[in-house]
């Protein structure tokens, strides 16, 4: 949030500038595409500015950094644009000064920008998109763009010229006709000018100059490895670039430290590349207005199953908060439990009476206290009511981060619908990481209802079972193996002479987790569907 | 034709094809389409029920047929405009599939 | 050096001229003398070279046009050509429609059958037609009913109107690119459940625009429960109606009775008249079930046409019960009469066609059918507005013939006998989905439920059985195999307890009926193509 006084001052300056006929270049980011020699050299031959200095076509669309990157890559591929290292990033940065999504718009497609599988639902009433668009690309590809009506309508010709075979490929519909209809409707759904964007582009110019520098408290989790806490240090290295140092400690005790180079696009979207022991890893971070909080996601591009999601809070300015607890679920009647509260700006010398974990949980000792973490010993009474707890430490509080339960009632395997790809020889394999999440039936006493309590991932026994598609189905023997950490590693690509018709090692199977909660004889079981499909031949969007 | 007269639609379609004209494709097809599935999501090479039974196996058998005019417009590089020569190194996909290039991002 | 071989074709002579029906292509071709000579020489000679052919024809003193005729026969896929020693099987490969000319090397040393191809249908298949049992009950107890008095051997029940709407929704959602889709109300007697009928039609009409589709609603009924209000609803909503009625009272009432044994004709007649008079938006058809003894099809047809039905279709009874099932003699009588009727329907429109008729069909001069044998009634002598003159531009009144001519015209080749389990599905009263409506109440053949959708595993298993069954082997020698593809699954189920068994009982019957259709088609196409096109219009 911009402080109120600023807004007033800005409004005053804007009014004044308007009256004097001046543009306010110092205070506000440029509305369109600023003059730039690199742009003039590499792009300006075709995208020539008009008399008023405007580059109409480009200034009629807004894209995510990834979207612009892809467009520039296409220009390199098809229009023989030659770029030196770093120049593509510089052009994307230039375009994203204002011709990108407003933070609120970007949030809705963050999953796709972070390189996640687009397991998305097409909004109701937009079934035609499914027929004509999302069979080839994700819905996020569309939702991450804003265009003027004229520009939306041009997409039909663009598709027909870049992918002329599509009319054939989608021959059961009249694609050109359906495209006209869809593009008209998209022009209304995703117009170039939106209130979010108008508000955002008025942001003060300072917002991009090292505003995010400093130390960030990071809390996140990596499927298959558990939760972690740590810090992200951002050091400005000129022109909106940052040196990024990320250090995290996993709940199992391992520490990871990465350093890399980050580029900030549009004042809020940071893309950082790290070299880690597992390979090149991309970090996608989005800073919320106000510069005090952010959400992030990372993905190892050499091992696509290594990925995590996190949130960040900036040290030094914001309010005190409890962000997570470890463990996050307490069983009735457990004693001498060491409970770690992760947070920011926590009191450093609290007394047990400053902590409130709700009825039936007594704090017996404070073991450690620092601004980021508080470790305490607690006793959970046998009759402590089950449910979610509101946690407070002095002024700091956190909602929905602690639950009290009596027993594990059922398991759920996530993702419920897994996707793996054969590979490893000529094409990259894609493994899938599964997790077994334990649940309690919740205060209403009925499992599988809304008030069920998520108790977190548990160490389950993993196996793969046949999903009978036909009586002779034997996919289990071919598709790959799952390890006891829930990681499914697919088999190699290519025809398999051992299978009927030399079929590939593809198939669909159930991934089954079994788990016996401590102190019970009852074995819990849950399963998820796993599709093991063919290899990738092309990975265009991620770089 | 001089000696043989095409009487019904099917015969007329065969005649058009023999003359090098573009026949009505539907007139040449079986009535229930037995062709490839076009239903999939980005990079999810599945048939419409998220299965694989509807797809060609091994997929290398039909890779080029499907990459040009069938159900793989997105995931397989488009050779007409964007990545010409993608499959040049490999004329028989079932035998030489290792030679098919994998294209990773970039220009 | 190329060698030539004749592909499988069925030959016929119409009006002294020779024609071929390509078994695997479905093409109908006329041949002149040189073409016929080439075909005759190639018969039973695998792999003939051009030189051998030329030498032979020269020895017969006939050389004109040989080479040209041969090329044309190759182009039209009657004759296959291949390099010496490279005979290749035709296999299951179909031209993929890439606009390229498929290789002409496909000769046929071994015959192929549409269903022996290893390729299963790509699932899910877009649904085009849904036949929905809104009532598992009937107010009649027709002796021959395969549904055992409308109950399908289960407890009598009506479909919940909500389930009917869900079924409409299922059809809309699962119809893929099909813009025109059809929904049939079936039973039992569907008018026992007018609430479901109304709810579904209203729901469907409201949803059409949103989906950009058009639903063709239709209803099969025994007409006993039609009221003025219902007829108005049917007409206003353009609902196609087929009435099950077997003919005049004497014939109808033998089988179609109330539970107390009373015949249904007298009580049906006023409702039928109401329907025919007031249903203005769609033609009304009658469906006749042919049972043991067959009866006089001409009399039945004339009677129903006289009442005002715009189309009449004949269907043999589905039963193993010897009291009703057709005997071998019945089958041949049925065929003879049906062919007879077919020629008469044509000759009403095309007097010249009489000259082309088989000798057995000559002497049937009477062209006026309407009004004959009509039960006396003062107010409704015939359907008001029905005019035999006007009928000349209308579709053929004999639906069996209209369908056959349409199939032959398109040259249909089918991998399956019908769309059951693919484009056509049946729904039971409880929302269970079956390959077609006739299988309702056979839980082992359920393909899923309306709420959950199709069970792809079961659907796949169904077609695996179709593909792996012996039915295909028996068909390999038959020239109509691409039109019949093994026949109705339900007929096989009733006769042999196995839907996948071949329907050998009807083979000869069907081949002869199709042959007759071919003759009619050729006669019309050669002499009156304009009229033929008019007849083929839907």
Question: Which CATH number goes with the domain that contains B43?
Answer: 4.10.940.10
Report how far apart the first and last C-alpha atoms of chain A are (Å, whole number): 32
Domain presence at residue C124: no
Q: Within 13 Å, how many C-alpha atoms sit on residue A316's CB side? A: 9
Give the dihedral sign, CA A102/A107/A109/A111: positive
Asked whether the beta carbons of A275 and A300 are under 8 A apart, the reply is no
B4 to chain A, any CB pair closer than 8 A? The answer is no
pLDDT at residue A27 in the model = 37
C-alpha A401, offset from chain centre:
20
Domain presence at residue A206: no
Nearest CA in chain A to B87: A537
Among the residue ranges A230-234, A412-416, B80-84, C517-521, the one predicted with the least confidence is B80-84
By three-state DSSP, how is residue C512 classified?
Answer: helix
Domain presence at residue A538: no
Give CA–CA dist A186/A180, Å, rounded. 10
ipTM: 0.77
Query: How many independent structural domains does chain A possess?
Result: 4
Interchain contact, A172 vs C176, CB within 8 Å = yes
Domain presence at residue A208: no
Average pLDDT over residues B81-96: 82
pLDDT at residue B53 in the model = 53
Interchain contact, C461 vs A131, CB within 8 Å = no
Asked whether the beta carbons of C510 and C480 are under 8 A apart, the reply is yes
How many Å lie between the alpha carbon of C103 and the closest alpha carbon of chain B?
11
DSSP line for A255-289: EEEEEEEEEEETTTEEEEEEEETTEEEEEEEEEPT
pLDDT at residue B55 in the model = 58
pLDDT at residue A365 in the model = 92
Neighbours of C7 (CB within 10 A): 22
Domain presence at residue C6: yes
Does A179 lie in the same domain as A103?
Answer: yes
Question: Which CATH number goes with the domain that contains A439?
Answer: 2.60.40.10
pLDDT digits (tens, 9 = 90+) for C58-101: 777 766 788 889 889 988 888 887 543 332 223 323 333 222 22
Does B46 lie in the same domain as B16?
Answer: no
Residue C289: its H or E element? strand C284-290
C123 to chain A, any CB pair closer than 8 A? The answer is no
pLDDT at residue A9 in the model = 43
How many Å lie between the alpha carbon of A535 and the closest alpha carbon of chain B?
9
Does A309 lie in the same domain as A189?
Answer: no
Contacts of B8 in chain C (CB under 8 A): 26-28, 408-411, 521, 525
pLDDT at residue C411 in the model = 87
Could you say which of B7, B35, B53 has the minimum Cβ distance to residue C29? B7
Does A118 lie in the same domain as A8?
Answer: yes
Does B87 lie in the same domain as B53?
Answer: yes
Neighbours of A448 (CB within 10 A): 11
Give CA–CA dist C193/A540, Å, rounded. 57
pLDDT at residue C352 in the model = 52
Please give the angle made by the CA atoms of C181, C182 and C184, to the nearest 5 degrees: 165
pLDDT at residue C83 in the model = 40
Average pLDDT over residues C467-484: 71
Contacts of B75 in chain A (CB under 8 A): 536-538
pLDDT digits (tens, 9 = 90+) for B40-55: 333 345 554 445 555 5
Does B21 lie in the same domain as B57?
Answer: no
Q: Which residues contact C234 (CB under 8 A, 6 or more apart)?
A: C219, C241, C275, C279
Higher-scoring residue by pLDDT: C354, C255? C255
pLDDT at residue A324 in the model = 93
Query: How many independent structural domains does chain B possess?
Result: 2
Q: Which of B24, B47, B62, B69 is catalytic?
A: B62
Interchain contact, C176 vs A471, CB within 8 Å = no
Is residue C115 pLDDT above 80, yes or no?
no
Interchain contact, C461 vs A127, CB within 8 Å = no
Question: In the structure encoding, which two tokens stand for residue A263, read together?
Answer: 């580029």
Question: Which CATH number goes with the domain that contains A286?
Answer: 2.40.128.120
pLDDT digits (tens, 9 = 90+) for C405-430: 988 998 887 777 788 888 899 999 99
pLDDT at residue B13 in the model = 84
pLDDT at residue A22 in the model = 39
pLDDT at residue C268 in the model = 93
Domain presence at residue A52: yes
Interchain contact, B7 vs C30, CB within 8 Å = yes
Give CA–CA dist C500/C470, Å, rounded. 8
Average pLDDT, chain A: 87
C456 to chain A, any CB pair closer than 8 A? The answer is yes
Higher-scoring residue by pLDDT: A119, C451? C451
Domain presence at residue C304: no
Is residue A343 pLDDT above 50, yes or no?
yes
Does B102 lie in the same domain as B91?
Answer: yes
Report how far apart the first and last C-alpha atoms of chain B are (Å, whole number): 52
Average pLDDT over residues A320-344: 94
Structural domain containing residue C59: 2-83
pLDDT at residue C423 in the model = 87
* Residue A432, phi-psi category: left (phi > 0), alpha (psi -120 to 50), beta (remainder): beta
Is residue A14 pLDDT above 70, yes or no?
no
Domain presence at residue C37: yes
Give CA–CA dist A222/A252, Å, rounded. 12
Domain boundary among A299, A314, A329: A314
Interchain contact, B106 vs A419, CB within 8 Å = no
Does B72 lie in the same domain as B104?
Answer: yes
How many Å lie between the alpha carbon of A298 and the closest alpha carbon of chain C?
37
Contacts of A496 in chain B (CB under 8 A): 58
Structural domain containing residue B101: 35-107
Residue showing tokens 């200034």: A59
Query: How many independent structural domains does chain C possess?
Result: 2
Give CA–CA dist A224/A247, Å, rounded. 19
Is residue A23 pLDDT above 70, yes or no?
no
B vs C: CB pairs below 8 A = 149
pLDDT digits (tens, 9 = 90+) for C267-283: 999 999 999 999 988 88
Is residue A471 pLDDT above 60, yes or no?
no
pLDDT at residue C484 in the model = 81
B43 to chain C, any CB pair closer than 8 A? The answer is no
Give CA–CA dist A109/A284, Å, rounded. 12
Q: Exposed (0-12), middle (13-18) or buried (19+): which is C320, by Cβ within 10 Å?
A: exposed
pLDDT digits (tens, 9 = 90+) for C227-250: 999 999 999 999 999 999 999 999
How many Å lie between the alpha carbon of C483 and the closest alpha carbon of chain A?
25
Does B101 lie in the same domain as B59?
Answer: yes
Average pLDDT over residues C319-333: 87
Does B51 lie in the same domain as B30?
Answer: no
Is residue A318 pLDDT above 90, yes or no?
no
Among the residue ranges A127-141, C187-201, C313-327, the one predicted with the least confidence is A127-141
Contacts of A506 in chain B (CB under 8 A): 52, 57, 59
Residue C287: its H or E element? strand C284-290
pLDDT digits (tens, 9 = 90+) for B8-17: 988 888 888 7
Higher-scoring residue by pLDDT: C106, C60? C60
Does B99 lie in the same domain as B80?
Answer: yes
Domain presence at residue C31: yes
Does B27 lie in the same domain as B62?
Answer: no
C457 to chain A, any CB pair closer than 8 A? The answer is yes
Task: Of A103, A31, A100, A107, give the one whose Cα is nearest residue A67.
Answer: A100
pLDDT at residue C57 in the model = 79
Could you say which of B53, B58, B72 has the minimum Cβ distance to residue A502? B58
A337 to chain B, any CB pair closer than 8 A? The answer is no
Q: Which residues contact C196 (CB under 8 A, 6 or more apart)?
A: C134, C135, C158, C159, C160, C161, C163, C164, C185, C190
Among the residue ranges A64-73, A380-389, C106-115, C285-294, the one predicted with the least confidence is C106-115
Does A443 lie in the same domain as A400?
Answer: no
Contacts of B36 in chain C (CB under 8 A): 122
Nearest CA in chain B to A537: B102
Contacts of A469 in chain C (CB under 8 A): 456-457, 460
Give CA–CA dist C503/C481, Å, rounded. 12
Does A58 lie in the same domain as A16?
Answer: yes
Question: In the structure encoding, which two tokens stand for residue C504, read together?
Answer: 């050998």
C470 φ, ψ (degrees, to nearest 5): -70, -15
Average pLDDT over residues A421-434: 91
Calculate what percentage of chain C has a pLDDT beyond 90. 36
Domain presence at residue C261: no
Asked whether the beta carbons of A480 and A449 are under 8 A apart, the reply is no
Q: Is the pTM of this model over 0.80?
A: no
pLDDT at residue A3 in the model = 42
pLDDT digits (tens, 9 = 90+) for C4-57: 888 888 999 988 899 999 988 889 999 999 899 899 888 877 778 888 888 887
Interchain contact, B45 vs A501, CB within 8 Å = no
B52 to chain C, any CB pair closer than 8 A? The answer is no
Residues in chain B: 107
Residues in chain C: 538
Does A129 lie in the same domain as A39?
Answer: yes
CA distances from C305 to C251, C288, C299, C371 (A): 15, 12, 10, 8
Question: Which CATH number goes with the domain that contains C39?
Answer: 3.90.930.60
Could you say which of B4, B18, B28 has the minimum Cβ distance to residue C97? B28
Does A153 lie in the same domain as A231?
Answer: no
A470 to chain C, any CB pair closer than 8 A? The answer is yes
Residue C207: its H or E element? helix C194-211
C460 to chain A, any CB pair closer than 8 A? The answer is yes
Is residue A280 pLDDT above 70, yes or no?
yes
Structural domain containing residue A435: 410-533
Q: A210 falls in which pLDDT band (50, 70, 90)?
A: low
pLDDT at residue C468 in the model = 66
Does A360 lie in the same domain as A306?
Answer: no
Calculate what percentage of chain A has a pLDDT beyond 70. 90
Task: Of A208, A258, A262, A256, give the one whose Cα is nearest residue A235.
Answer: A262
Residue A413: its H or E element? strand A410-414
B62 is catalytic: yes
pLDDT digits (tens, 9 = 90+) for A145-157: 999 999 999 999 9
Nearest CA in chain C to A181: C212
Q: Which residues contact C351 (CB under 8 A, 6 or more apart)?
A: none
pLDDT at residue C240 in the model = 93
pLDDT digits (tens, 9 = 90+) for C360-385: 333 233 323 333 333 333 333 333 33
Q: Which of residues 236-295 of A touch B (CB under 8 A)?
A: none
**Interaxial angle between packed helices B9-18 and C399-410, expressed in degrees from 0 to 180 and rounded to the nearest 10:** 10
Could you say which of A125, A172, A471 has the minimum Cβ distance to residue C461? A471
Average pLDDT over residues A272-277: 94
Is residue A359 pLDDT above 80, yes or no?
yes
Average pLDDT over residues B78-107: 79
Does B55 lie in the same domain as B23?
Answer: no
Does B39 lie in the same domain as B8?
Answer: no
pLDDT at residue B51 in the model = 52
How many Å lie between the alpha carbon of A160 and the closest alpha carbon of chain C?
18
A vs C: CB pairs below 8 A = 17
Higher-scoring residue by pLDDT: A356, A24? A356
pLDDT at residue A1 in the model = 41
Interchain contact, B73 vs A427, CB within 8 Å = no
Q: A205 falls in which pLDDT band (50, 70, 90)?
A: low
Is residue A28 pLDDT above 80, yes or no?
no
Domain boundary among A314, A333, A362: A314
Number of H helices, E strands in chain B: 4, 2
Does B26 lie in the same domain as B7?
Answer: yes
Average pLDDT over residues A31-57: 87
């Amino acid at each position: 949030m911009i402080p109120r006084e600023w807004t007033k001052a800005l409004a005053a300056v804007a009014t004044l500038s308007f009256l004097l006929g001046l543009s306010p270049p110092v205070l506000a980011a440029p509305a369109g595409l600023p003059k730039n020699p690199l742009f003039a050299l590499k792009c300006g031959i075709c995208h020539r500015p008009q008399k008023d200095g405007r580059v109409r076509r480009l200034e009629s669309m807004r894209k995510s950094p990834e979207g612009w990157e892809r467009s520039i890559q296409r220009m390199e591929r098809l229009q023989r644009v030659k770029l030196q290292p770093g120049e593509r990033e510089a052009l994307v940065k230039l375009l994203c000064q204002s011709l990108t999504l407003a933070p609120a718009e970007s949030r809705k497609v963050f999953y796709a920008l972070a390189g996640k599988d687009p397991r998305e639902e097409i909004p109701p009433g937009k079934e035609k998109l499914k027929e004509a668009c999302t069979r080839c690309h994700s819905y996020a590809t569309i939702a991450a763009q804003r265009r003027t009506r004229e520009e939306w309508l041009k997409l039909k010709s663009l598709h027909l010229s870049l992918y002329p075979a599509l009319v054939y490929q989608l021959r059961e519909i009249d694609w050109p006709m359906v495209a006209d209809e869809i593009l008209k409707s998209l022009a209304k759904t995703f117009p170039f000018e939106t209130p979010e964007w108008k508000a955002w582009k008025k942001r003060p110019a300072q917002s991009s100059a090292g505003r995010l520098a400093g130390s960030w408290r990071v809390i996140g989790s990596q499927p298959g490895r558990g939760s972690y806490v740590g810090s992200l240090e951002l050091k400005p290295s000129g022109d909106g670039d940052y040196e990024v140092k990320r250090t995290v400690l996993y709940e199992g005790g391992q520490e990871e430290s990465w350093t890399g180079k980050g580029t900030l696009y549009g004042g809020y979207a940071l893309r950082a590349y790290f070299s880690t022991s597992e390979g090149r890893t991309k970090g996608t971070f989005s800073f919320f207005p106000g510069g005090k909080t952010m959400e992030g996601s990372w993905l190892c591009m050499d091992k696509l199953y290594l990925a995590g999601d996190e949130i960040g809070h900036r040290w030094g300015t914001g309010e005190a908060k409890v962000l997570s607890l470890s463990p996050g679920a307490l069983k009735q009647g457990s004693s001498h439990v060491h409970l770690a509260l992760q947070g920011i700006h926590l009191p450093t010398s609290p007394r047990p009476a400053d902590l409130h974990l709700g009825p039936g949980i007594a704090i017996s000792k404070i073991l450690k206290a620092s601004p980021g973490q508080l470790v305490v010993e607690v006793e959970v009474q046998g009759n402590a009511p089950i449910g979610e707890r509101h946690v407070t430490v002095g002024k700091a509080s956190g909602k929905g981060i602690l639950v009290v339960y009596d027993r594990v009632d059922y398991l759920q395997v996530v993702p419920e619908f897994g996707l793996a790809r054969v590979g490893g020889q000529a094409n990259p394999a894609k493994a899938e990481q599964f997790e077994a999440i334990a649940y309690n039936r919740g205060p209403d006493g009925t499992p599988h209802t809304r008030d069920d309590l998520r108790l977190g991932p548990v160490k389950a026994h993993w196996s793969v079972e046949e999903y009978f598609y036909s009586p002779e189905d034997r996919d289990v023997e071919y598709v790959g193996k799952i390890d006891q950490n829930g990681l499914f590693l697919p088999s190699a690509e290519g025809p398999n002479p051992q299978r009927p018709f030399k079929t590939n090692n593809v198939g669909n199977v159930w991934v089954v987790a079994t788990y016996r909660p401590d102190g019970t004889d009852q074995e819990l079981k849950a399963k998820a569907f796993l599709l093991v499909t063919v290899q990738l031949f092309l990975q265009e969007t991620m770089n | 034709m001089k000696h043989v007269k095409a009487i019904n639609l099917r015969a007329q379609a065969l005649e058009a094809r023999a003359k090098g004209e573009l026949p009505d494709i539907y007139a040449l097809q079986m009535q229930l389409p037995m062709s490839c599935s076009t239903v999939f999501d980005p990079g999810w090479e599945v048939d419409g029920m998220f299965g694989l039974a509807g797809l060609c196996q091994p997929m290398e058998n039909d890779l080029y047929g499907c990459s040009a005019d069938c159900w793989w417009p997105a995931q397989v590089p488009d050779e007409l405009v964007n990545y010409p020569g993608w499959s040049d190194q490999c004329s028989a996909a079932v035998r030489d599939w290792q030679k098919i290039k994998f294209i990773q991002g970039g220009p | 050096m190329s060698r030539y071989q004749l592909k499988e074709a069925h030959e016929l002579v119409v009006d002294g001229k020779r024609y071929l029906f390509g078994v695997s292509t479905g093409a109908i071709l006329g041949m002149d003398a040189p073409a016929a000579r080439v075909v005759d020489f190639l018969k039973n000679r695998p792999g003939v070279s051009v030189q051998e052919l030329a030498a032979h024809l020269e020895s017969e003193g006939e050389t004109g046009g040989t080479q040209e005729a041969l090329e044309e026969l190759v182009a039209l896929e009657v004759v296959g050509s291949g390099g010496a020693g490279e005979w290749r099987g035709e296999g299951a490969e179909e031209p993929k429609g890439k606009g390229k000319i498929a290789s002409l090397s496909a000769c046929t040393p071994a015959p192929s059958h549409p269903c022996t191809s290893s390729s299963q249908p790509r699932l899910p298949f877009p649904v085009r037609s849904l036949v929905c049992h809104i009532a598992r009950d009937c107010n009649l107890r027709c002796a021959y009913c395969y549904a055992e008095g409308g109950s399908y051997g289960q407890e009598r029940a009506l479909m919940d109107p909500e389930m009917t709407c869900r079924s409409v929704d299922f059809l809309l959602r699962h119809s893929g690119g099909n813009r025109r889709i059809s929904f049939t109300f079936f039973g039992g007697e569907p008018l026992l459940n007018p609430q479901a009928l109304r709810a579904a039609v209203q729901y469907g009409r409201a949803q059409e625009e949103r989906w950009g589709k058009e639903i063709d609603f239709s209803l099969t009924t025994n007409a006993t429960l039609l009221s003025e209000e219902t007829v108005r609803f049917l007409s206003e909503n353009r609902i196609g109606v087929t009435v099950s009625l077997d003919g005049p009272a004497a014939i109808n009432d033998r089988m179609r009775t109330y539970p107390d044994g009373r015949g249904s004709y007298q009580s049906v007649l006023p409702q039928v008249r109401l329907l025919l008079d007031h249903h203005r938006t769609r033609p009304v058809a009658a469906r006749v079930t042919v049972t043991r003894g067959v009866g006089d099809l001409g009399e039945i047809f004339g009677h129903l046409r006289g009442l005002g039905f715009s189309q009449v279709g004949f269907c043999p009874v589905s039963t193993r019960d010897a009291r009703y099932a057709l005997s071998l003699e019945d089958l041949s009588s049925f065929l003879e009469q049906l062919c007879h009727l077919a020629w008469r329907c044509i000759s009403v429109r095309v007097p010249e066609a009489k000259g082309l008729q088989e000798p057995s069909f000559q002497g049937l001069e009477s062209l006026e059918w309407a009004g004959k044998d009509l039960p006396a009634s003062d107010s409704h002598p015939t359907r008001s507005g029905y005019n035999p003159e006007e009928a000349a531009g209308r579709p053929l009144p004999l639906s069996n013939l209209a369908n056959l001519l349409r199939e032959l015209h398109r040259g249909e080749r089918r991998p399956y006998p019908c769309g059951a389990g693919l484009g056509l599905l049946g729904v039971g009263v409880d929302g269970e989905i079956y390959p077609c409506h006739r299988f309702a109440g056979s839980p082992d053949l359920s393909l899923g439920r309306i709420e959950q959708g199709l069970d792809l595993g079961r659907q796949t298993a169904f077609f695996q059985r179709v593909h792996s069954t012996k039915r295909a082997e028996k068909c390999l020698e038959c020239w109509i195999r691409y039109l019949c593809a093994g026949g109705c699954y339900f007929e096989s189920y009733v006769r042999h307890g196995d839907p996948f068994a071949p329907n050998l009982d009807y083979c000869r019957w069907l081949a002869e009926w199709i042959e007759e259709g071919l003759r009619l088609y050729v006669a019309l196409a050669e002499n009156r193509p304009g009229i033929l096109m008019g007849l083929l219009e839907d």
